[in-house]
């Protein structure tokens, strides 16, 4: 009799970080370089920025559309951030992990809590943090995408998230983008190798 080890379901990879910490760059690199990793596109009521397109960066919805979808239970998690609603479509995440694909989710701290509760055995939560709040402020200013008031709000939000770090399984400090990316990739690889995520079959 020969035994084989397999992974029946994909992993829900929850990545959370303050704006400017490098989360988007790390997630894009994961998806582009790892054939079994996909990115979950969130729905939002905010307006597109720059060259953002519906169905690529986000599913852009009116508040009425978002409310209808929420009432129908179509979101895995949802939040209200800086005056806009955000939500993770449940159906696509379920479809991917059932096929054995790992799904990367970009959410806030409350979203991470909701997903951990929904997928206690199939999720891993990672918080990306810059070397310091001062460095985060420098990154936000250099991006030249937000007003001074919005930058201030984002910095206060980042400080509040520090109080919730115990919620996360791992913390990655991004003082070097490539190293931070490799750290995140190593976390996913290690989580996939856990005995609890393996199925033993005999034939």
- Average pLDDT score over residue span 106-126: 91
Confidence of residue 202 (pLDDT cuts 50, 70, 90): very low
Is 166 a member of any domain? yes
Flag whether 120 is marked binding. Answer: no
Flag whether 20 is marked binding. Answer: yes
Confidence of residue 1 (pLDDT cuts 50, 70, 90): very low
Flag whether 19 is marked binding. Answer: yes
Flag whether 90 is marked binding. Answer: no
Flag whether 17 is marked binding. Answer: yes
Flag whether 73 is marked binding. Answer: no
Flag whether 22 is marked binding. Answer: yes
For residue range 25-58, list pLDDT tens digits in order.
999 999 999 999 999 999 999 999 888 999 888 9
Measured at the alpha carbon of residue 22, what is the angle toward residues 16 and 28, in degrees to the nearest 5? 85
Is 175 a member of any domain? yes
Task: Answer yes or no: are the C-beta atoms of 14 and 106 closer than 8 Å.
Answer: no
Instruction: Give just the sign of the alpha carbon dihedral 122, 106, 78, 37.
Output: negative
Task: Answer yes or no: are the C-beta atoms of 160 and 12 closer than 8 Å.
Answer: no
Domain carrying residue 16: 3-40+101-202
Domain count along the chain: 1
Q: Which of 121-125, 153-157, 183-187 has the lowest mean pLDDT?
A: 153-157
Spatial distance between the Cα atoms of 85 and 147, rounded to a whole number of angstroms: 20
Query: Which has the closest alpha carbon to 158: 179, 187, 127?
Result: 127
Mean pLDDT of the chain, nearest integer: 85
For residue range 135-160, list pLDDT tens digits in order.
766 766 676 666 777 767 766 776 66
Residue-level pLDDT at 66:
97
CATH number of domain containing 164:
3.40.50.300
Is 152 a member of any domain? yes
Residue-level pLDDT at 172:
95
Is 116 a member of any domain? yes
Residue-level pLDDT at 163:
73
DSSP-derived letter for residue 45 is S
Is 16 a member of any domain? yes
Is 71 a member of any domain? no
Is 165 a member of any domain? yes
Flag whether 118 is marked binding. Answer: no
Per-position DSSP letters for 59-111, written without gaps between them: EE--HHHHHHHHHTT-EEEEEEETTEEEEEEHHHHHHHHHTT-EEEEE--HHH
Residue-level pLDDT at 145:
65
Is 79 a member of any domain? no
Pairing of the two strands 42-44 and 84-89? antiparallel
């Amino acid at each position: 009799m020969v035994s084989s080890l397999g992974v029946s379901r994909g992993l829900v990879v929850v990545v959370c970080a303050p704006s400017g910490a490098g989360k988007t760059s790390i997630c894009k690199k994961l998806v582009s370089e790892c054939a079994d990793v996909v990115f979950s596109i969130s729905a939002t009521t905010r307006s597109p920025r720059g060259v953002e397109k519906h169905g690529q960066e986000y599913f852009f919805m009116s508040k009425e559309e978002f409310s209808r979808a929420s009432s129908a239970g179509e979101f895995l998690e949802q939040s209200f951030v800086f005056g806009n609603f955000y939500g993770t479509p449940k159906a696509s995440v379920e479809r991917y992990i059932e096929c054995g694909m790992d799904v990367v989710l970009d959410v806030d701290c409350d979203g991470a809590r909701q997903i951990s509760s929904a997928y206690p055995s199939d999720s891993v939560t990672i918080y990306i943090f810059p070397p310091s709040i001062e460095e985060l402020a420098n990154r936000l200013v250099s991006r030249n995408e937000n007003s001074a008031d919005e930058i201030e709000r984002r910095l206060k939000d980042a400080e509040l998230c520090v109080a919730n770090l115990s919620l996360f399984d791992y913390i990655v400090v991004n003082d070097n983008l490539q190293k931070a990316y490799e750290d995140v990739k190593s976390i996913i690889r290690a989580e996939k190798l856990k005995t609890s995520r393996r199925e033993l079959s005999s034939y």
